[in-house]
Amino acid sequence: MIAHGIRTLGVLGAGQMGTGIALVSALRAKVPVLLHDRSQDQVIKGLAFVDKLLEKDVSKGRISSEEAKEARDRITGVDGVHAMRDVDMVVEAVSENLSLKQKIFQQFATELSPEAILASNTSSISITKIAASTIPECVSAASDAGKKTAGRVVGLHFFNPVPVMKLVELISALQTTSDTLDRARSFATACGKEVTTSKDVPGFVSNALLMPFINEAIMCLEQGTATRDDIDTTMKLGMNHPMGPLQLADFIGLDTCLAIQETLYAGTRDSKYRPSVLLERMVDAGWYGKKSGKGFYDYN
Ligand code: 3HC
């Protein structure tokens, strides 16, 4: 396995995904992590969650208190991308919004080392598009082994909850170099994850399969085919899923589910991917699932 060569990692976005990525990187890959979010409160909340998870690991005897302290000490909250200028890799884990991600990647391209790997944890947005908007003038340049070009942009898709889920999906943009792919794969392995690879198609493999399943479950509810509990129980007991699709949608975030489904619909122009109206209305209402306290279930 090729050495990943990541001496310091940047993580942008301290929500449930970014915080989880910071934790596995510090605990498993033992890499110092600089964590940034535009909301300082979110960083504080994220670090408090890391503390809680590390304490639980210690109380269950999975790690020693020294290991927990070392891991925690490796994670530092920072006040901007400028503070990440010396990282060897950055993972962006902000919400599923193309223009936001493009802005962030343009900032990475100007403020970070020209050799840093630029990874996105996007669930469905084209890595090729993100890469092209990052360094447009270099898209077709084969020179420089991808160092100063879009060849260092890659998709590194973790799953929620990151500390528990064993998979990372690796997505190659058209521009991604093999060196970038190998190092990103090696880093994910060091984080204790199994890696699968997917072409850069809408939703990649994971969400091209998962999100239509969730969307169909919401349509079943919308059409009155069955109750919420019967839909979830059918899949839990009949198919051995750990949670039903409606509970899983709440857990992922209904805003994220809708954003992914819209990417599938727009990216394929296939009507089979049209988002459920009920999903759209719930997002309109601000019922995002577990993180907002209400979704298909009530969390208050
Ligand atoms: N963060 C960290 N750890 C968590 C957690 C969280 N948010 N939620 C639960 N866990 C941990 C628990 O602490 C517990 O750890 P322990 O073994 O040390 O005690 C372990 O997970 C099991 O939790 P519970 O016993 O409370 O509950 P369950 O047995 O029901 O397991 C679950 C919880 C692991 C979340 C399980 O229900 C599950 O696997 N659900 C499906 C998750 C899934 O499909 N994730 C993928 C979502 S799709 C995605 O992320 C892609 C994106 O692009 C949309």
Write the pLDDT tens digit of every residue in 189-204: 999 999 999 999 999 9
To test ligand 1's pocket by mutation, which of 164, 168, 255, 263 has the most ligand atoms within 8 angstroms of CB?
Answer: 164
Burial of 139-157, coded b for 16+ CB within 10 Å and e otherwise, reads beeeeeebeebbbbbbbbb
State residue 146's pLDDT score: 43
Alpha-carbon torsion (164, 34, 199, 252), positive or negative: positive
Establish whether 169 is a catalytic residue: yes
Residue 37 marked as a ligand binder:
yes
Please name the residue whose Cα sits nearest to atom 17 of ligand 1. Answer: 164
Phi, psi of 264 (to 5 degrees): -65, -45
The candidate with the shortest Cα–Cα distance to 221, out of 277, 285, 150, is 277
Q: Write the class of the CATH domain 9-199.
A: alpha beta
Per-residue pLDDT reduced to its tens digit, 237-278: 999 999 999 999 999 999 999 999 999 999 999 999 999 999
Can you identify the CATH homologous superfamily of domain 205-291?
Answer: N-(1-d-carboxylethyl)-l-norvaline Dehydrogenase; domain 2 (1.10.1040.10)
Per-residue pLDDT reduced to its tens digit, 206-219: 999 999 999 999 99
The atom number, within ligand 1, closest to the CA of 123 reads 53
CA distance 17 to 227: 30
Establish whether 157 is a catalytic residue: yes
Phi, psi of 10 (to 5 degrees): -105, 140
C-alpha of residue 182 to centroid of ligand 1, in Å: 28
Percent of the chain at pLDDT exceeding 70? 95
Alpha-carbon torsion (160, 166, 168, 169), positive or negative: negative
Bridge partners of 198? 171
- Write down the pTM of the prediction: 0.94
Ligand 1 and 123: CB distance under 6 A: yes
Q: Where are the domains of the chain?
A: 9-199, 205-291
pLDDT band with cut points at 50, 70 and 90 for residue 122: very high
Select the more confidently predicted residue: 140 or 30. Answer: 30
Structure token digits, residue 242: 């750990």
